Amino acid sequence: MSTAEIQDYLKTAIEVAKEAGEVVREAFYKEKSLQTKSNYADLVTETDQAVEKQIINSFKEKYPTHKFIGEETVAGGHKTEWTDDPTWIIDPIDGTTNFVHQIPHTCVCIGLSIKKQMVVGVVYAPILNEMYTGAKGQGAFCNGERISTSQQNDLKQAIIYLEGGSSREPDVLRRKCNIYQKVLQTTRGTRTLGSAAMNMVNVAKGSGDAYVEYGLHIWDFAASGVILIEAGGSMIDPSGGPVDFLSRRVLCASSQPLADQLSTTIPEHIEMERD
C-alpha cells in the first residue's frame, strides 16, 4: 500500500471523527438516555448508537466495499468478524461512563486494518479538543504536533494507567486487585482516566509510561495502538507475547524494556473470553 493511499484513509478518518465529535460535544452536557449491556456498570447511550451509525454511513459512502467492526453493532448481536479485508474498527464513544457523568476524558476512536494489520488510527477527544492521529510508518501527532513516548526504562520511576473495567465477577475483581496491588508496589504510581484509548494516547505523548488492562475489546485499543506504536511505544500481550487484538487484554509501554519489566512483574494473567 502506498503512502498516498494511507494518507487518504487517514484524512478521511480525521474528517469523520471531527463530525462525530461534534455530535458528542453537543450531547455532552445534556441529559442522557441510558441503557445497560452486560451489567449495571456497562453503559450505552443513544449518542453512542447514533454516532456509530453516522461513522459507518460516512465510510460506506466513500469505501463501499470496506468492512466494519463497531462496539454498538457487536453489542446489538453482530459477531466480531475480523478478516483480511479493509476493516474500520470503531468505538463511537470510548469512556461512555465518563460521557454520562460529564467527565471530559471521552473520545471517538477510528482505526483501519488491512490484512489484519493496523495502518491508521484516529482518537478524537472533543471536550478536550485533542485530535490524536497515527499512520503506519508516518509518526504520531496531537493536533498536528508530533508526539513521542517518554522512553522510560525504569519501572520504579514509571506512572502506570490501570482500569477496573465493567466486569463485576468476584473472581475477576479479586485477580485484578492482586495484579494492581503488585503494580502499585513496584512503580511510582498509578492513574485511571476511564478510557482505554485516552490512557494509551497519554502514554503515546509521554504523560505516563505504561498501561495494562484485562477485559477490553478490539475497538477500545485498535486505533490508539497505531498512535502508540508510531510514537515509539511498545504494545504486547500482558504475558509478554505478541499482542492479540481479540484476546481482550493488552499491555502498552513507552519502551520495550519497560513493557518487559511490567510483564514479568504481573503475578498472574487473566484469560478473558475472546471477542
Mind telling me the catalytic residues?
71, 91, 93-94, 96, 220
**CA geometry: angle 170, 48, 35, nearest 5 deg:** 50
Greatest C-alpha distance within the chain: 51
Closest residue by Cα to residue 158 from 150, 166, 167: 150
Task: Give the contacts of 69 (CB within 8 A, at least 6 positions apart).
Answer: 80, 81, 82, 87, 88, 89, 90, 218, 219
| 134's grid cell | 497515527
Tell me which residue of 98, 120, 122 sits closest to 48, measured CA to CA.
Answer: 98
Using the 8-state DSSP alphabet, how is residue 271 labeled? P
C-alpha cell read off for 187: 512503580
Q: Write the CA distances from 205 to 68, 78, 150, 162, 253, integer angstroms.
A: 28, 34, 7, 17, 11
One-letter amino acid for residue 248 of the chain: R
15 appears as a binding residue in the annotation:
no
Q: In what order do the strands lie in the sheet with 210-214?
A: 189-191, 159-162, 210-214, 249-253, 234-236
For the chain, the distance separating the N- and C-terminal CA atoms, rounded to the nearest angstrom, is 28
Check whether 42 is labelled as a binding-site residue: no
Instruction: Please return the burial class of 174, using the count of CB atoms within 10 Å of its CB with bins 0-12, 13-18 and 19+.
Output: exposed
91 is in an annotated binding site: yes
Q: Which residues are annotated as a binding site?
A: 71, 91, 93-94, 220
Bind-site residues for Mg(2+): 71, 91, 93-94, 220
